[in-house]
Structure 1
Amino acid sequence: MILVLAGTSDARELAVRIKETGYELLSTVVTDSAAKSMEEAGLPVQVGRLTAQDLISLIAEKGIRCVVDATHPFAEEASKNAMAAAQEAGVPYIRYERESLSAPGSEKLIVVEDYVQAAELAAEKKGVIMLTTGSKTLKIFTDRLLGLPDTTLVARMLPRLDNMQKCEELGLAQKNIVAMQGPFSKELNKALYDHYKVTLMITKESGKVGAFDEKVEAALEMGIETIVIGRPKIEYGEKFSDYDSVLNQLNQVTGGK
């Protein structure tokens, strides 16, 4: 059996390809909505965050022959847990990561290393700031931006109850929450920027599947300053950005089905 750490649309498609090739697999995701998407694709799925020890136990329990880590490029903890578990359990680890898109060159665009750097830079710039990095790191930004003079923080995130509860806990006003399911077209991004009179947009380099280019191009075309958070620097060893390469590697390390 192959263990596929998933949760994104491209991870789901990869899992489908692995299953169609003839491998028995189990996928894992963090949210119920991601689980529903996997189930609709006919994929067996387990829901919940897994520590390295959880993964080690799962590998032993299910007789896992290989761990395929297809988590989001910014799911740093999940990838580190997967690598540690695979090493401890003595099974091969394969990393699939959607291809990176280089940020378009512009004097309006700044690339930073992490969320804290992005938040501190935004605090210097002030204005109407649209945050499109999700809810997980929202506190980093609310701690530094809420209550600043001449500063409004608008956060765009998935329309989930836990996200709305987090916004309330952190003091983010309802009128400054955009709860929508992407991906967003360039035109919709522009409409949102215009509606809120955005002067600064913050995003992370999540790749084309994450509609990175649409929101950045929309902002730059409107003359909106943009902060891009670069991907975490993780030593995966070899990694692959297309499904066929993953399947070829899987065949090599398992000896086939």
Structure 2
Amino acid sequence: MILFLAGTSDARELAITIKEAGYPLLATVVTENAALELRKNGLNVHTGRLNQEEIGNFIEQYGVTMVVDASHPFAEEASKNAMAGAREKGVLYLRYERDRQDYEHKHLQAADTYEDAAEKAGELGGVIMLTTGSKTLQIFTEKLLHQTNVTLIARMLPRKDNMEKCEQLGFPQKNIVAIQGPFTKDFNKALFQQFKVDVMITKESGKQGAVDEKVEAALEMGIQVVMIKRPKIVYENQYSNFEDILQHISREWRGVLA
């Protein structure tokens, strides 16, 4: 059995590809919406975050022989828990992660952390659109929401818990864009124009995460972009394409069956 952490749209495609190749697979996702997409394709799915101990329990309970970690590039804790859980139980760990995208532009600056991004955006001022999700929203509201030269707009998934978090943080309802992507470059441009955006904050999630469309739209409009760098994690057995992952699984599977 393969325990598969599916954190992105391309990760879910990989899970389906592995299943169609004939390997038994149990996928884990954070949201019920992501689970529904996988169940439609006949996959067994667990919904909810797993800590290291829970991953270890899953490995024992389901006879897992390898863990494929395809969680989001910014899901740092999920990857650390998966690596540690696999290592503790003596099973193979494989990491699938989207290739990084290199950007160089006079209107784009990199930030090492969310706090650093908030500082850089605050120095630029104006209308700032946040496209980094709700998980770190508090960092940006604390630093930017009441800054006199800033109007903060938050774009996030239209989920009840996200709206409740905005309410708890005192985020103005008129400044919330609750919408499900992915979005085209033209759609991003229309949204930036609608809110008269001066600065856009995003994460370096990779091409498959529709980051290109956001960044290209913003830069073409002369909007300043602050991009948060990926966490620096040393992964074991890291790959950025499906074929290499499948080849490694095949080699390992032959060893398991031998």
1:44-67 deviations in whole A, cap 9, x for unaligned?
A: 100111000000011000000000
Which range moves more in the overlay, 12-21 or 76-85?
12-21
Q: Retained in 2: the 8 A contact 1:27–1:46?
A: yes
Q: Retained in 1: the 8 A contact 2:93–2:237?
A: no
- Whole-Å separation in 2 of the counterparts to 1:209 and 1:110: 21
| DSSP-derived class of the 2:85 partner | helix
- Whole-Å separation in 2 of the counterparts to 1:32 and 1:7: 12
Q: Does 1:57 align with 2:57?
A: yes
Q: Retained in 1: the 8 A contact 2:153–2:177?
A: yes
| DSSP-derived class of the 2:148 partner | coil
**Displacement, 1:122?**
1.4
TM-score, with structure 2 as normaliser: 0.97
Which range moves more in the overlay, 83-92 or 244-253?
244-253
Structure 1: gaps (5+ residues): none
Q: Does 1:241 align with 2:254?
A: no
- Whole-Å separation in 2 of the counterparts to 1:174 and 1:91: 47
How many pairs does the alignment contain? 256
- Whole-Å separation in 2 of the counterparts to 1:149 and 1:20: 54
- Whole-Å separation in 1 of the counterparts to 2:9 and 2:135: 19
Q: Retained in 1: the 8 A contact 2:35–2:46?
A: yes
Q: Does 1:209 align with 2:170?
A: no
**Displacement, 1:249?**
0.7
Q: Retained in 2: the 8 A contact 1:127–1:151?
A: yes
TM-score, with structure 1 as normaliser: 0.97
Q: Retained in 1: the 8 A contact 2:97–2:238?
A: yes
2:159 alignment counterpart: 160
1:28 alignment counterpart: 28
- Whole-Å separation in 1 of the counterparts to 2:40 and 2:99: 25
Structure 2: gaps (5+ residues): none
Runs of 4+ in 1 over 3 A off after TM superposition: none
**Displacement, 1:86?**
0.3
- Whole-Å separation in 2 of the counterparts to 1:180 and 1:205: 20
- Whole-Å separation in 2 of the counterparts to 1:41 and 1:10: 14
- Whole-Å separation in 2 of the counterparts to 1:231 and 1:5: 18
**Displacement, 1:236?**
0.1
| DSSP-derived class of the 1:46 partner | strand
- Whole-Å separation in 2 of the counterparts to 1:5 and 1:130: 30
**Displacement, 1:238?**
3.1
- Aligned sequence identity (%): 58
Which range moves more in the overlay, 59-68 or 4-13?
4-13
1:19-60 deviations in whole A, cap 9, x for unaligned?
A: 111111100001111111111121110011100000001100
| DSSP-derived class of the 2:182 partner | coil
Letter of the 1:88 partner, please give it. E
1:76 alignment counterpart: 76
Q: Retained in 2: the 8 A contact 1:189–1:218?
A: yes
**Displacement, 1:111?**
0.8
1:134-190 deviations in whole A, cap 9, x for unaligned?
A: 000100100000111121100000000000111111111111001110011110101
**Displacement, 1:252?**
1.8
1:226 alignment counterpart: 225
**Displacement, 1:254?**
2.9
Letter of the 1:15 partner, please give it. A
Q: Retained in 2: the 8 A contact 1:66–1:254?
A: no
- Whole-Å separation in 1 of the counterparts to 2:95 and 2:144: 36
- Whole-Å separation in 1 of the counterparts to 2:8 and 2:237: 21
- Whole-Å separation in 1 of the counterparts to 2:203 and 2:160: 23
Q: Retained in 2: the 8 A contact 1:128–1:198?
A: yes
- Whole-Å separation in 1 of the counterparts to 2:17 and 2:226: 35
1:55-90 deviations in whole A, cap 9, x for unaligned?
A: 001100000000000011111100000000000000
Q: Retained in 1: the 8 A contact 2:94–2:236?
A: no
